Amino acid sequence: MTDSIFKNPGQTAFAGHRLSAVDYQQNFADIQTPLDIHSAVVEADRCYYCYDAPCQTACPTSIDVPGFIRMIGQKNDLGAASKILTENIMGGTCARACPVETLCEHACVRQGEEGGPVQIGLLQRFATDQVNLSEAKFFTRDTPTGYRVAIIGAGPAGLSCAHRLAVLGHEVFIYEAQQKSGGLNEYGLAAYKMADDYAQREVEAILSIGGINIKNGVKVGEDISFAELQTNYDAVFMGVGLGSSNALRLDGEQAEGIISAVDYIHHLRQAEDLGELPVGQDVVVIGGGMTAIDIAIQIKRLGAANVTMAYRRGKENMSASLEEQEFALNEGVRIVHWAQPVGLQTNKGFITGVEFKATNTPDSDSYTMAADMVFKAIGQSLTPIVTGDIEFAQSHGKIAVDAERRTSHMGIWAGGDCVAGGDDLAVTAVQDGKLAALSIHNTLTQQQI
């Protein structure tokens, strides 16, 4: 986040507590109401257990959805959780944060029927919540292979890759620049989706398999060279995510109060006292994706009086689902479509307004929204890591990989948000890590896929 936002909060209009501690606790409590045993069994009974189930096809990690739902109906908690985690080791997080309304539940054959689609996301959460992930022995390590694999990044892709490699008998070493592991799950998802320190509890469960060593606070290219990884390990996997927020490219963008939404959420997730976070009164969020929705709702729940999301195209073009858009509206967020930012208004170095022009009306006049805080949520770009003389083939500004997540350089794989062709979802990153691990294993052991 822009350092000046936090250096001298007393010099801005954002200082001090705005809400009570009880308000903050309520506003950032778990947004989901988990199913109890009775409601889970009743909901499971709604499933038709389809052959060639479309919900399973729609899941990026190919979870046997009808299979685990049937086991919930039979009150076989361990069996249900096992079916989920076998394909998606971060099934608990995905049950909380995955856009099921556009994936598995959207594909459910009960879509459009009375009662709507089967609540697959809540059923998946029920199954994974019923077991102690660190104690339940769903996985055992295979005979040690003697191979060592380096992974850059302890986010969903890196952790998924590490876990599958550990199960297959390899020794894994993860290099993570942040002080905590979890990546997007720890630092990027809305706090009300990942309550009760769930991201760290999931990391502990993944590490319980053994054979995974995480070096936190170590940045590849600075604290250790990429060449050292290539020399000391038999394979390298890059799960570096995306680190650089896209710029508005407008004069005055360095003004106080203009902030990267991703950076602010990072600070919010790690804040010990939410009352110390800067919060404007008139907040404008520029963007139409999930990050824009997440920051708009959270800044509203932190006490902002007026929050407006501005998106340059129409409602149907927003990458945030219609359900998420509706959620934001219900939270009191205003959404303005066909609004392209064309200028920033400042006073003595502080943001005071954003000038927009309508994109659906030719030769339209510009208009201004008052703003003492502006969030940039218009996507992120790949932050290059220092790889020495190696340059990776890229596509659309991201690392190009094949179906097995191999990069253009032998012995190096990549997955997650940093690779081309993805949809920037945790569930897709988990699948990338899993596929890369299988490819690494087969390459190292000279097996055929």
Q: What share of the chain is helix, strand, coil (3-state, %, to 5)?
A: 35, 20, 45
Nearest Cα to 374, choosing from 183, 270, 245, 274?
Answer: 245
* Whether residues 391 and 355 fall in one domain: no
| pLDDT given for residue 9 in this prediction | 45
| Close Cβ partners of 218 (under 8 Å, ≥ 6 residues apart) | 175, 176, 177, 224
Q: In this structure, what CATH number is given to the domain that contains residue 57?
A: 1.10.1060.10
Tokens at 372, concatenated: 């003492």
Dihedral (CA of 308, 309, 312, 315) sign: negative
* Whether residues 258 and 326 fall in one domain: yes
Tokens at 110, concatenated: 């009960």
* Whether residues 345 and 254 fall in one domain: yes
| pLDDT given for residue 170 in this prediction | 98
| pLDDT given for residue 226 in this prediction | 94
Tokens at 109, concatenated: 């054959």
* Whether residues 273 and 369 fall in one domain: yes
The answer to whether residue 20 sits within a structural domain is: no
* Whether residues 352 and 375 fall in one domain: yes
Q: In this structure, what CATH number is given to the domain that contains residue 175?
A: 3.50.50.60
Pairing of strands 339-347, 350-358: antiparallel
User: What SS3 string covers 137-164?
Assistant: CCCCCCCCCCCEEEEECCCHHHHHHHHH
Residue that finishes a domain, picked among 129, 160, 176: 129
CA angle 202, 204, 209 (to 5 degrees): 105
The answer to whether residue 58 sits within a structural domain is: yes
Total count of domains within the chain? 3
pTM metric for this prediction: 0.94
Tokens at 281, concatenated: 């009164």
Residue that finishes a domain, picked among 379, 406, 425: 379
C-alpha span between 272 and 268 (Å, rounded):
9
Please check whether residue 199 is in contact with residue 186, taking contact to mean a CB–CB distance below 8 angstroms: yes
| pLDDT given for residue 14 in this prediction | 60
* Whether residues 260 and 353 fall in one domain: yes
Please check whether residue 160 is in contact with residue 93, taking contact to mean a CB–CB distance below 8 angstroms: no
The answer to whether residue 134 sits within a structural domain is: no
* Whether residues 71 and 93 fall in one domain: yes
Cα pseudo-dihedral 218, 221, 226, 227, rounded to 10 = -120
C-alpha span between 336 and 318 (Å, rounded):
11
The answer to whether residue 156 sits within a structural domain is: yes
Residue that finishes a domain, picked among 70, 97, 129: 129
Please check whether residue 184 is in contact with residue 153, taking contact to mean a CB–CB distance below 8 angstroms: no
| pLDDT given for residue 2 in this prediction | 40
CA distances from 26 to 33, 71, 89, 191, 301 (A): 13, 34, 30, 12, 9
* Whether residues 167 and 201 fall in one domain: yes
The answer to whether residue 302 sits within a structural domain is: yes
The answer to whether residue 142 sits within a structural domain is: no
What tens-digit pLDDT sequence spans the chain (449 residues)? 444 444 444 445 565 457 999 999 999 999 999 999 999 999 999 999 999 999 999 999 999 999 999 999 999 999 999 999 999 999 999 999 999 999 999 999 999 999 999 999 999 999 999 988 777 778 999 999 999 999 999 999 999 999 999 999 999 999 999 999 999 999 999 999 999 999 999 999 999 999 999 999 999 999 999 999 999 999 999 999 998 789 999 999 999 999 999 999 999 999 999 999 999 999 999 999 999 999 999 999 999 999 999 999 999 999 999 999 999 999 999 999 999 999 999 999 999 999 999 999 888 789 999 999 999 999 998 877 777 778 899 999 899 999 999 999 999 999 999 999 888 899 999 999 999 999 999 999 985 44
C-alpha span between 21 and 273 (Å, rounded):
9
* Whether residues 209 and 251 fall in one domain: no
CA distances from 6 to 1, 21, 186, 292 (A): 8, 20, 21, 21
Give the rounded distance of the alpha carbon of 246 from its chain centre: 17
* Whether residues 332 and 254 fall in one domain: yes
* Whether residues 118 and 164 fall in one domain: no
CA distances from 360 to 240, 285, 292, 310 (A): 37, 19, 21, 14
The answer to whether residue 236 sits within a structural domain is: yes
Q: Which domain holds residue 365?
A: 246-379
The answer to whether residue 45 sits within a structural domain is: yes
* Whether residues 254 and 347 fall in one domain: yes
